[in-house]
Amino acid sequence: MNFFTLSHVGQVRPNNEDYAESFQFKWCTHDGKFQTFTALLLADGMGGAAAGEFASSSVIKTFKDALLQNLLNGNPETFATSDLRKFITDTVHQANQAVYQKAQATPEMEGMGSTLVVALIYQDMLTLGHVGDSRAYLLREGQYKQITRDHSFVQELLDTGRITPEQAARHPNKNVITRAMGVSATVEPDCKQMPLFVGDVLLLCSDGLTGYSDEKAVYRLLRDKATDPNSNFRAVCEQLIEMANGGGGGDNISVCLYRHKSF
């Protein structure tokens, strides 16, 4: 299997407010060729206890339902070759409304919200969307880089040159996000598309990984263990979780791992 998803409560939090899923949908075309569509979905809820759990699970459920409806109720290739950036944007609006309206109708859930990062892969194209500070990273030919930009207070300080990356890593407000699902009536995701090449490794993660592990150590693990076509992705995900827990595990930890291959 070239993808795997895993979530863990961490070492401190009493419950897991993250929610992550991944799946591949395969079909045979009229000329006898198999096609594959992969979806990686990850959300980090906030609001405490049931509120955060509801927000993250609601966001992912909305996305999963919309994806399956489009893939199962029509020609999957028509959907897979459509404007998936528009699909992500439209579904973000739908998921945002679901969480926002629930919060408005339920006083004890007021202020709840969620981050989101979603990766859709068809043939050799990645469509990526995100809201908040859950991230996507790409490992390609030994080069490892973040391919999402955090919607956060610290990111804004970085962008304006007021702090250094070293200062950002230990900034007291590093968990303050400037964009989230369900907090207000509307929200806009950042979306982009980029080509994928055979052997590329994609990592989606919540800040429970990035906040409690060393980025260079994550890179070395992915380089050494995830680039091998025969690697055990479950074991790699478990090692990522262990790494964050070893660093304190002060938050829930979720990872979606994917390695691109020719189909």
Higher pLDDT: 47 or 43? It is: 43
Is residue 20 one of the residues assigned to a domain?
A: yes
Is residue 158 one of the residues assigned to a domain?
A: no
pLDDT score at 170: 78
Domain with residue 197: its CATH number is 3.60.40.10
pLDDT score at 158: 86
pLDDT score at 30: 82
Check residue 18 and report its DSSP letter: E
Q: Please give the residue range of the domain that contains residue 234.
A: 3-145+179-259
When the pLDDT of each residue in the chain is averaged and rounded to a whole number, the result is: 94
Is residue 78 one of the residues assigned to a domain?
A: yes
128-177 tens-digit pLDDT = 999 999 999 999 999 999 999 999 988 889 888 888 877 877 787 878 89
Is residue 155 one of the residues assigned to a domain?
A: no
Task: Rounding to the nearest 10 degrees, give the CA dihedral for residues 7, 23, 43, 241.
Answer: 20
Is residue 164 one of the residues assigned to a domain?
A: no
Distances (CA, A) of 220 to 8, 223, 263: 21, 5, 27
- pLDDT of residue 59 exceeding 70: yes
* Number of domains forming the structure of the chain: 1
- pLDDT of residue 241 exceeding 90: yes
Is residue 173 one of the residues assigned to a domain?
A: no
Lowest mean pLDDT among 4-18, 24-38, 196-210: 24-38
Whole-prediction pTM value? 0.95
181-222 tens-digit pLDDT = 999 999 999 999 999 999 999 999 999 999 999 999 999 999
pLDDT score at 181: 97
Is residue 188 one of the residues assigned to a domain?
A: yes
pLDDT bin (cut points 50, 70, 90) of residue 49 is low
Is residue 153 one of the residues assigned to a domain?
A: no
If phi > 0 it is left, if psi is from -120 to 50 it is alpha, else beta; for residue 22 that is beta
